[in-house]
A and B are shown apart, each in its own frame.
Chain A
Amino acid sequence: MTDKPSDLVQGTLDMLILKILALEPMHGYGIAVRLEQMSQGVFRLNAGSLFVAVQRLQRDGLIRGEWKATENSRRAKYYALTAQGQKRLNSETREWGRQVAAIARILETS
């Protein structure tokens, strides 16, 4: 019953969700599937972690949800990035890049 995936670096899930939604608006399941596809099966989310993160992003005003019909004519809540979300994604991506580079440099030094 963990509510965060132990195999994801803390805090990165939000960034990944923002990245996925930056491509196109998506419902919950879609986010999970896309994450799995894009990570080539490395990140497999359970529903709890996903929706807690989605709720948090929504409350922070980074994404917003809207009920729409899916291609299979089912009702689902589609989430889209807000302007604020886009800004946050940009800054987090930059920060992430900086950190990864720094970590890599440390690890490479022998």
Chain B
Amino acid sequence: MSILRSIADGLRSLFRKEQVGHELDEELNGFLEMAAEEKVQRGMSRKDALRAVRLERGNLAVTKEVVRAAGWESLIETSWQDLRFGARVLRKNPGFTAVAVMTLALGIGANTAIFNVIQTVVLQPLPFADPDRLVWLNGKMPQTDDAGVSPADFLDYRDGNRSFEQMAGISQVVMAGPSNLSGDKPEQVMTSLVSAGFFDTLGVPLLLGRDFQKNDEEVDTSQVVILGNGIWKRDFAGDRNIIGHNIRLDEQSRTVIGVLSSDVPLISQAQIWLPTPRLHFLMHLRGGHFLKVIGRLKPGVTSPQAQSDLDAIAHQLAEKYPDTDQGWSLRQRSLREVLIGPVRPVLLVIWAAAGLLLLIACTNLANLLLARSVGREREFAVRTALGATRIRLTRQALAETMILVLAGGALGALAASWGVSLMRVFAPPDLPRLQEVHVNLQVFTFAFGVSLLSGVMFALIPALQIGKGGFSGLKESTRNSESAAHRRIRSSLVVAEIAVSLMLLVGAGLLIRSFWLLIHVDPGFQTQRVVTAQLSLNGPSYNDPANRVRFWQELEERIRNLPGVEAVGATSELPLTGQHSDGPFKIPDHRYGPSEFDDAYYRQVTPGYLAAMRIPLLAGRWLDQRDTAKSPGTLLVNRAFAKRFFLGQDVLGKHLEVMGDSQPDREIVGIVGNISHRALSDPQEPEMYVGYAQYAPPTMNLVVRAVADPSTLAAALDETARAIDKDETLSAIRPLDDIVASSVSQPRFSSLLLSLFAALAVALATIGIYGVMAYSVSQRTNEIGIRMALGAKQSDVLKMVVWQGMKLAVVGALVGIAGSLLLGQFLASMLYRVTPRDPLTFVLVSIALFGVSLVANYIPARRAMRVDPMVALRYE
């Protein structure tokens, strides 16, 4: 009851302040009058009586304040007053306020944006049911631990293990042949083959229909499909009655049995899913390691338990099928690690950089506030004299800071949402889940928390300084000098700022240098004015390889005759796109143990490809019209191949036995230049090139070198393809320059962001140094005046002030260098041909930072130099 009454009473005083105040006035007045009356009756004059009462019972105005302050509502009221007053003070100093809010917004915005991305990409669980039990299973052998699993082995692992609830396989994404789903235009559809129960294993529910079952697999050609959610909405207008209908895919009619509730871009870009056709001969191979396998561990089964289970099966298989399975086993990693692991270090480094930036922003603000609090000592002294308590003054200062923090936080949240959109543009395409990123409550909470934390961090120091002086501020002259302790705090703040900026600069410098080296790697082919496109010939009419060869001959012939085309060719795997294929082979004279062989990149090219890419012929001859399906097998190898397998021998004329090839015996007829195939940062690997006429895979990449801008050719190329076969269409049309650029988009992204943060950090640090020095000069005007009156030259003053500031810069730089040497190792994995202790970067960065601090010191120093001794002395 009494609490309720207290609340009601308090609310009454808050909202009906005037009436309540009036009542209190009347009551107190009555008190005064009655007391005075009594004294008058005893013979005092009325004036004396009133004075006596005031002396005895206290000043009425003060009493009123005291009574008011006793209620809880006064806390709210005074806080409100504090906020209003703080806002007024800040409005009166727009320069300070703007700098403070912007500084904070930058720090908070950068952190919130990065946190937003990290939260979605790294912290959020994968969008699958119970994702912690999902593991990724790789084929592992002495040469590689990143191979696939052969379909036959997969079945043995799936049926033989005791550790997994379920296990399912998925093939690479393939472009389906002519498909006309929407009915108006042939389109290229991406498909994946998956084994029965794949979506159940992953924990991705179906929106309609059912998952693949084992009897769907008992075919030679897949008869049923599951539609991805995206293509279902786009091409089938989200038709809920689609189950049981037939669609034409790859020139074949297939029945829709299900629709996914969402696509699974993390696992595969496929738009339509087909069951693995178990009766197809490819599915019986033990040597073809082309399935990726995902397993769902039984609850409670640990990874080592599962591993020993898998190893036992691998052992059995090796005994049973020594030719194909000896040396092979499965390597298991958590699905999360496989999907997110590669980008995590990059994001964490960027986050750390954003954190350092925030640290600088807070330091800067602490500095600004500290300088201001010294300037306001008089104001606080006056207010103390008028009866403000120290708590009240501190509260007042905190209120001002809170306004700054909240404004900075709000602006920062805004900046963060821009930052996220900006990151979407610049982020590497292999950064998973970026499209899922959106600003949510958690992120706002984070932004708010960061703001609050920074508020406390930078408000505490100045707040603790307040009121220490007490009334002394009034007694002293108008110009009070900064205390030594104060100066020490501010100096160490500047040192910290410089140190952190230097660390950020070093990080950015290292990444930029590494990026520069990376993009100046000679890839071994010329990228300018080249456009590429993909084309799959999958329809039944192209089951005969001869038809595929004819199509491509015709296509290249026609394209070569287009105006503006300089050269044309095609390859099964384009460099730097992630397309990849290995060819196992044996050199006839060598001795190999069981299931031993050599291995090199293996691609099929049309005769014009190497010339169109400007990959040079070093010896021998090109592939050409002489190399047909009926002529003896030939191939080209690159220099790295010759060096690795035939060091010091004449390579031309040597024969290879290429395993699994239709023409296993092939003669090396030429040597060509090396190229960077997987990544610009990887060493150039041995490669083999086989003529398309002798080995014609269905999917090829067209490469056209134009005379001028290649993008104008895109439409003409597509038309040319469709003129030959109206069902064929080009997809993924991209300039080669783009492909190269996006292959380095991750280092570009990280160096760009880190440079941005470093630049901001240096800007903030410069403001910090400038602020401290300018303030110190204005504090020392008097001292400088005396020095000059005693004969100090202008240049002496300049030197003194600049040196004072540069001392801080030097100490800060030393601390920063030490910190960079310590933290540099975290960058090591992101660097290409640069060590984290690269002396050039350290030297350049230090010089740049000294240059900037010199300027920041010079401006206030010049002002000090111009001090007129007379004016300075008279100023007192």
Note all chain A residues with C-beta closer than 8 A to B34. Answer: 27, 29-30, 70, 74, 76
- B30 A27 Cβ-Cβ under 8 A: yes
- A59 B60 Cβ-Cβ under 8 A: no
Among candidates A33, A51, A76, residue contacting B67 with C-beta atoms closer than 8 Å: A51
User: Is there a chain B Cβ closer than 8 Å to A72's Cβ?
Assistant: yes
Q: Which of A47, A60, A76, A77 has the most CB of B within 10 A?
A: A47
In the complex, which residue of chain B has the Cβ closest to the Cβ of A30? B34
- A52 B67 Cβ-Cβ under 8 A: yes
User: From residue 16 to 69 of chain A, which have CB atoms closer than 8 A to chain B?
Assistant: 27-30, 32-33, 44-48, 51-52, 55-56, 58-61
Note all chain B residues with C-beta closer than 8 A to A45. Answer: 57
Tell me whether A46 and B56 are in contact in the complex, defined as CB-CB below 8 angstroms, given that A1-B62, A29-B31, A76-B27 are known contacts. Answer: yes
- B9 A51 Cβ-Cβ under 8 A: no
- A47 B57 Cβ-Cβ under 8 A: yes
User: Is there a chain B Cβ closer than 8 Å to A95's Cβ?
Assistant: no
User: Is there a chain B Cβ closer than 8 Å to A87's Cβ?
Assistant: no
Tell me whether A51 and B33 are in contact in the complex, defined as CB-CB below 8 angstroms, given that A1-B66, A44-B56, A46-B63 are known contacts. Answer: no
User: Is there a chain A Cβ closer than 8 Å to B387's Cβ?
Assistant: yes
User: Is there a chain B Cβ closer than 8 Å to A98's Cβ?
Assistant: no
Tell me the smallest distance from the CB of A45 to a CB of chain B, in Å.
8
User: From residue 38 to 63 of chain B, which have CB atoms closer than 8 A to chain A?
Assistant: 38, 56-58, 60, 62-63
Tell me the smallest distance from the CB of A89 to a CB of chain B, in Å.
15
Q: How far is the CA of A66 from the CA of B182 in the complex (A)?
A: 85
Tell me whether A61 and B1 are in contact in the complex, defined as CB-CB below 8 angstroms, given that A44-B56, A47-B63, A55-B71 are known contacts. Answer: yes
Q: How far is the CA of A60 from the CA of B24 in the complex (A)?
A: 18
- B30 A28 Cβ-Cβ under 8 A: yes
In the complex, which residue of chain A has the Cβ closest to the Cβ of B8? A59
Tell me whether A3 and B2 are in contact in the complex, defined as CB-CB below 8 angstroms, given that A28-B30, A46-B56, A76-B30 are known contacts. Answer: no
In the complex, which residue of chain B has the Cβ closest to the Cβ of A77? B27
Tell me whether A59 and B30 are in contact in the complex, defined as CB-CB below 8 angstroms, given that A3-B66, A29-B35 are known contacts. Answer: no
User: Is there a chain A Cβ closer than 8 Å to B130's Cβ?
Assistant: no
Q: How far is the CA of A67 from the CA of B57 in the complex (A)?
A: 22
Tell me the smallest distance from the CB of A8 to a CB of chain B, in Å.
15
In the complex, which residue of chain A has the Cβ closest to the Cβ of B55? A46
Q: How far is the CA of A32 from the CA of B56 in the complex (A)?
A: 12
Note all chain B residues with C-beta closer than 8 A to A30. Answer: 34
User: Is there a chain A Cβ closer than 8 Å to B70's Cβ?
Assistant: yes
Q: How far is the CA of A10 from the CA of B38 in the complex (A)?
A: 30
- B30 A55 Cβ-Cβ under 8 A: no
- A59 B6 Cβ-Cβ under 8 A: yes
- B5 A59 Cβ-Cβ under 8 A: yes
Note all chain A residues with C-beta closer than 8 A to B38. Answer: 33
Note all chain A residues with C-beta closer than 8 A to B58. Answer: 46-48
- A59 B2 Cβ-Cβ under 8 A: yes
Among candidates B1, B5, B35, B63, residue contacting A51 with C-beta atoms closer than 8 Å: B63
Note all chain B residues with C-beta closer than 8 A to A47. Answer: 28, 31-32, 57-58, 60, 63
Tell me the smallest distance from the CB of B511 to a CB of chain A, in Å.
62
Q: How far is the CA of A18 from the CA of B35 in the complex (A)?
A: 21
User: Is there a chain A Cβ closer than 8 Å to B582's Cβ?
Assistant: no
- A61 B66 Cβ-Cβ under 8 A: no
- A61 B5 Cβ-Cβ under 8 A: yes
User: From residue 62 to 93 of chain A, which have CB atoms closer than 8 A to chain B?
Assistant: 70, 72, 74-77, 84
Tell me whether A52 and B30 are in contact in the complex, defined as CB-CB below 8 angstroms, given that A46-B57, A60-B2, A72-B37 are known contacts. Answer: no
In the complex, which residue of chain A has the Cβ closest to the Cβ of B26? A75
In the complex, which residue of chain A has the Cβ closest to the Cβ of B27? A77
Q: How far is the CA of A47 from the CA of B66 in the complex (A)?
A: 10
Tell me the smallest distance from the CB of A4 to a CB of chain B, in Å.
10
- B67 A48 Cβ-Cβ under 8 A: yes
- A56 B30 Cβ-Cβ under 8 A: no
Q: How far is the CA of A1 from the CA of B5 in the complex (A)?
A: 28
Q: How far is the CA of A72 from the CA of B147 in the complex (A)?
A: 105
Tell me the smallest distance from the CB of A32 to a CB of chain B, in Å.
8
Note all chain A residues with C-beta closer than 8 A to B6. Answer: 59-60
Q: How far is the CA of A31 from the CA of B385 in the complex (A)?
A: 33
Tell me the smallest distance from the CB of B820 to a CB of chain A, in Å.
56
Contact with A along B393-432 (1 / 0, CB 8 A): 0000000000000000000000000000000000000000
Tell me whether A51 and B27 are in contact in the complex, defined as CB-CB below 8 angstroms, given that A1-B66, A59-B71 are known contacts. Answer: yes
Q: How far is the CA of A30 from the CA of B67 in the complex (A)?
A: 18
Q: How far is the CA of A44 from the CA of B38 in the complex (A)?
A: 16
Tell me the smallest distance from the CB of B53 to a CB of chain A, in Å.
9
Note all chain A residues with C-beta closer than 8 A to B56. Answer: 44, 46
Tell me the smallest distance from the CB of A95 to a CB of chain B, in Å.
19
Note all chain B residues with C-beta closer than 8 A to A48. Answer: 58, 62-63, 66-67
Note all chain B residues with C-beta closer than 8 A to A29. Answer: 30-31, 34-35
Q: How far is the CA of A51 from the CA of B30 in the complex (A)?
A: 13
Note all chain A residues with C-beta closer than 8 A to B9. Answer: 58-59
In the complex, which residue of chain B has the Cβ closest to the Cβ of A65? B27
Contact with A along B69-85 (1 / 0, CB 8 A): 01100000000000000
Note all chain B residues with C-beta closer than 8 A to A28. Answer: 27-28, 30-31
Tell me the smallest distance from the CB of A29 to a CB of chain B, in Å.
4
Contact with A along B503-547 (1 / 0, CB 8 A): 000000000000000000000000000000000000000000000
- B28 A51 Cβ-Cβ under 8 A: yes
User: From residue 5 to 24 of chain B, which have CB atoms closer than 8 A to chain A?
Assistant: 5-6, 9-10, 23-24
Tell me the smallest distance from the CB of A21 to a CB of chain B, in Å.
15
Among candidates A1, A56, A75, residue contacting B70 with C-beta atoms closer than 8 Å: A56
Tell me the smallest distance from the CB of B616 to a CB of chain A, in Å.
94
Q: How far is the CA of A51 from the CA of B24 in the complex (A)?
A: 9
- A52 B57 Cβ-Cβ under 8 A: no
Tell me the smallest distance from the CB of B122 to a CB of chain A, in Å.
53
Note all chain A residues with C-beta closer than 8 A to B62. Answer: 1, 48
Note all chain A residues with C-beta closer than 8 A to B71. Answer: 55, 59
Q: How far is the CA of A74 from the CA of B33 in the complex (A)?
A: 10
- B28 A1 Cβ-Cβ under 8 A: no
Note all chain A residues with C-beta closer than 8 A to B33. Answer: 74
Note all chain A residues with C-beta closer than 8 A to B24. Answer: 51
In the complex, which residue of chain B has the Cβ closest to the Cβ of A1? B62
Q: How far is the CA of A70 from the CA of B23 in the complex (A)?
A: 16
Q: How far is the CA of A78 from the CA of B468 in the complex (A)?
A: 45
Q: How far is the CA of A56 from the CA of B57 in the complex (A)?
A: 19
Q: How far is the CA of A108 from the CA of B870 in the complex (A)?
A: 76
- A52 B66 Cβ-Cβ under 8 A: yes
- B60 A52 Cβ-Cβ under 8 A: no
Note all chain A residues with C-beta closer than 8 A to B28. Answer: 28, 47, 51
Q: How far is the CA of A100 from the CA of B838 in the complex (A)?
A: 81
In the complex, which residue of chain B has the Cβ closest to the Cβ of A3? B66
Tell me the smallest distance from the CB of A34 to a CB of chain B, in Å.
13
Q: How far is the CA of A45 from the CA of B867 in the complex (A)?
A: 60
Q: How far is the CA of A58 from the CA of B10 in the complex (A)?
A: 12
Q: How far is the CA of A60 from the CA of B38 in the complex (A)?
A: 32
Q: How far is the CA of A82 from the CA of B26 in the complex (A)?
A: 23
Note all chain A residues with C-beta closer than 8 A to B37. Answer: 72
Note all chain B residues with C-beta closer than 8 A to A52. Answer: 66-67, 70
Q: How far is the CA of A76 from the CA of B70 in the complex (A)?
A: 22
Q: How far is the CA of A56 from the CA of B70 in the complex (A)?
A: 8
Q: How far is the CA of A108 from the CA of B31 in the complex (A)?
A: 42
Q: How far is the CA of A1 from the CA of B66 in the complex (A)?
A: 9
Interface residues of A (CB under 8 A from B): 1, 3, 27-30, 32-33, 44-48, 51-52, 55-56, 58-61, 70, 72, 74-77, 84
21 A–B contacts from the bound complex (CB under 8 Å): A27-B27, A29-B30, A29-B34, A29-B35, A32-B31, A32-B35, A32-B57, A45-B57, A46-B58, A47-B60, A47-B63, A51-B24, A55-B70, A55-B71, A58-B9, A59-B6, A74-B33, A75-B26, A76-B27, A76-B34, A77-B30
Interface residues of B (CB under 8 A from A): 1-2, 5-6, 9-10, 23-24, 26-28, 30-35, 37-38, 56-58, 60, 62-63, 66-67, 70-71, 387
List 5 additional A-B contacts (Cβ < 8 Å) besides A59-B2, A61-B2: A27-B27, A27-B34, A28-B28, A72-B37, A76-B30
6 residue pairs, one from A and one from B, having the closest CB atoms: A46-B58, A48-B66, A29-B34, A59-B6, A52-B70, A61-B2
